Amino acid sequence: MKRFVWLLLFFLGIFPFITNEMIVAAEKSPVTNVIFMIPDGFSAAYATGYRWYKGENSIMDEMLVGMHRTYSANSIVTDSAAGGTAMATGVKTNNGMIAMSPTGERLPTILQAAKASGKKTGLVTTTTITYATPAAFASHVEDRKMEAEIAPQLLDNRVDVLLGGGRKYFPKTLLNRAKAEGYQIVTDHKGLSLKSSSDKLLGLFSEEAMSPELDRHRTKEPSLAEMTETAIQILQKDKKGFFLMVEGGQIDWAGHANDAAWAMKDIEAFEQAVERVKEFAEEDQHTLVVIAGDHNTGGISIGGYNQYAANIDFLQDIKATGQYMVTQLDKERKNSKKVLKKYANIDLTPEEERKIQVAKDPERTINQILSKRALIGWTTYEHTGVDIPVYAYGPGAERFRGLQENTDLPKKIAKLMNIPFQ
């Protein structure tokens, strides 16, 4: 009978005008799991640059459905705290505030709503697990810098999987509490790969933020894809489903440094995590994947310097961040030519050597030199206020079409999961 109705609507010419609401209402099975992925600092310009860097479309390109507006309650240009809060609570707040309204009221988050409905929850990031974006989903503080106060709240909100950096914010007393509450604690790549059958996992892989992907091979840290896969393995055990937020936080840090190679390599790492997520969603059939950066960082442009060209391939030869290269310079920076040859495969000009030697901030100078070689421009070391792409895959993905507010994202997710929110 239902098939007959759909055919009748089609032949009557009504089918093209069926609304999203009608489609969703017709779906028999609700969304059981949601994986909300946030490439921090990412924008359409980064997407374009990465496509040229990779040499083909990214896995996200085929999932593009819309855009979202990023402004905060008190500024056209948001920071990650207000941006994360909007994406976690559906409410605009002031820059610097974590899951609290501009007047100081605590705001319920989509993660807390999922937990209250009986679902498992998880947070994964390449920054500290207490940093602005993950913090906005499971804590409430007036100032994002209050990471020591954020850490215990992640346990208070019973987040089942917590993976990232930030070991310095978890003193022995808090780690003992976590163990008593059933968390297995891991601190390196090997520990993550040898995890037990525990249903709760706390992974703290660095004292502060985790390393950029370009430099990760010098550490014992797992990749974003490995952390994401582990989180899914643990959370999927519960038949009631789960909510997982995954942040590629180092894209933002690369933008702040104006380090194009760092940015492209961390987008690559984020895409590898998206690949693992999509594979799971394809098999599961009840998992919605939503991907959206919280803002643009750095004001990156592809091409520039009075040339109708770009040299993105040049970035493939860079083997370390500018941040790391600076640590390899001698006291008087006289070895800059040797360092840049080793890690960026370029021969510095005498003028470039001089600039590095006298620079107040040699990292910025190195990144400026490399960006110019790639014909990549930057407008700032901070954020910009442009609209950001939204990608979605799985049941209900069409609900994220068009231009929307960042506050719409968690509201739509909650509706598709059929859980009370706000």
Q: Are residues 307 and 199 in the same domain?
A: no
Residue 25 falls inside a structural domain: no
Listed range (9-18, 71-80, 209-218, 384-393) with the worst mean pLDDT: 9-18
Residue 4 falls inside a structural domain: no
Other CB atoms closer than 10 Å to residue 53's CB: what's the count?
Answer: 23
Report which of residues 9 and 378 the model is more confident about.
Answer: 378
Which residues, in sequence order, are CB contacts of 245 under 8 Å at separation 6+? 35, 36, 37, 38, 88, 111, 122, 123, 124, 133, 134, 137
Closest-CA residue to 80 (of 53, 40, 113)? 40
CATH number at residue 324: 1.10.60.40
Q: Are residues 366 and 395 in the same domain?
A: no
pLDDT in the model for residue 1: 41
Average pLDDT score over residue span 397-417? 98
pLDDT in the model for residue 422: 79
What is the Cα–Cα distance from 226 to 26, expressed in whole angstroms?
Answer: 36
Query: What type of residue is 345?
Result: N
Q: Are residues 189 and 204 in the same domain?
A: yes
Q: Are residues 71 and 151 in the same domain?
A: yes
Average pLDDT score over residue span 114-139? 98
Residue 312 falls inside a structural domain: yes
pLDDT in the model for residue 78: 98
Contact (Cβ atoms closer than 8 angstroms) between residue 110 and residue 124: no
> Residue 352 sits in which domain range?
301-377
Average pLDDT score over residue span 69-81? 98
Q: Are residues 394 and 348 in the same domain?
A: no
What is the Cα–Cα distance from 390 to 12, expressed in whole angstroms?
Answer: 33
Task: Provide the pairing of β-strand 296-297 with 383-384.
Answer: antiparallel
pLDDT in the model for residue 304: 80
Q: Bridge-partner residues for 120, per DSSP?
A: 242
pLDDT in the model for residue 29: 56
What is the Cα–Cα distance from 332 to 158, expressed in whole angstroms?
Answer: 51
Residue 13 binned pLDDT confidence (cut-offs 50, 70, 90): low
Helix (H, G, I), strand (E, B) or coil at 202: strand
Q: Are residues 225 and 360 in the same domain?
A: no
Number of independent structural domains in the chain:
2
Residue 17 binned pLDDT confidence (cut-offs 50, 70, 90): very low
Q: Are residues 347 and 318 in the same domain?
A: yes
Contact (Cβ atoms closer than 8 angstroms) between residue 143 and residue 124: no
Residue 260 has pLDDT above 50, yes or no: yes
Say which residue the tokens 């009978």 belong to: 1
Average pLDDT score over residue span 361-366? 98
pTM for this entry: 0.93
Average pLDDT score over residue span 84-91? 98
CATH number at residue 189: 3.40.720.10
List C-alpha distances in Å: 179 to 44, 365, 390.
42, 45, 38
Look at phi and psi of residue 400 and say left if phi exceeds 0, alpha if psi is from -120 to 50, else beta.
alpha
Which residues, in sequence order, are CB contacts of 10 under 8 Å at separation 6+? none
What is the Cα–Cα distance from 413 to 410, expressed in whole angstroms?
Answer: 5
Q: Are residues 273 and 235 in the same domain?
A: yes
Contact (Cβ atoms closer than 8 angstroms) between residue 99 and residue 106: yes
Look at phi and psi of residue 261 and say left if phi exceeds 0, alpha if psi is from -120 to 50, else beta.
alpha
Catalytic pick from 43, 72, 80, 371?
Answer: 80
Residue 157 has pLDDT above 70, yes or no: yes
Residue 22 falls inside a structural domain: no
Q: What token pair was written down for 133?
A: 């974006």
Residue 198 has pLDDT above 90, yes or no: no
Q: Are residues 405 and 323 in the same domain?
A: no
Residue 26 binned pLDDT confidence (cut-offs 50, 70, 90): very low
Residue 99 has pLDDT above 70, yes or no: yes
Say which residue the tokens 């098999």 belong to: 283
What ranges make up the beta strands (E) of 158-304? 161-165, 184-186, 201-204, 242-247, 287-292, 296-297, 301-302
Q: Are residues 61 and 92 in the same domain?
A: yes
Residue 314 has pLDDT above 60, yes or no: yes
pLDDT over 70 percentage in the chain: 93
Q: pLDDT by residue (tens digit) across 213-250?
A: 999 999 999 999 999 999 999 999 999 999 999 999 99
Residue 6 falls inside a structural domain: no
Other CB atoms closer than 10 Å to residue 37's CB: what's the count?
Answer: 23
Average pLDDT score over residue span 395-405? 98
What is the Cα–Cα distance from 85 to 140, expressed in whole angstroms?
Answer: 10
Q: What token pair was written down for 29?
A: 């099975």
Residue 21 falls inside a structural domain: no
What is the Cα–Cα distance from 258 to 363, expressed in whole angstroms?
Answer: 9
- The average confidence (pLDDT) of the chain is 93
Closest-CA residue to 267 (of 102, 113, 41)? 41
Torsion of CA 249, 255, 261, 263, to 10 degrees: 30
Q: pLDDT by residue (tens digit) across 335-358?
A: 999 999 999 999 999 999 999 999
Q: Catalytic residue at 80?
A: yes
Q: Are residues 63 and 144 in the same domain?
A: yes
Radius of gyration of the chain (CA): 22
Q: Are residues 345 and 231 in the same domain?
A: no
Helix (H, G, I), strand (E, B) or coil at 19: coil
What is the Cα–Cα distance from 396 to 413, expressed in whole angstroms?
Answer: 9
What is the Cα–Cα distance from 129 to 152, expressed in whole angstroms?
Answer: 11
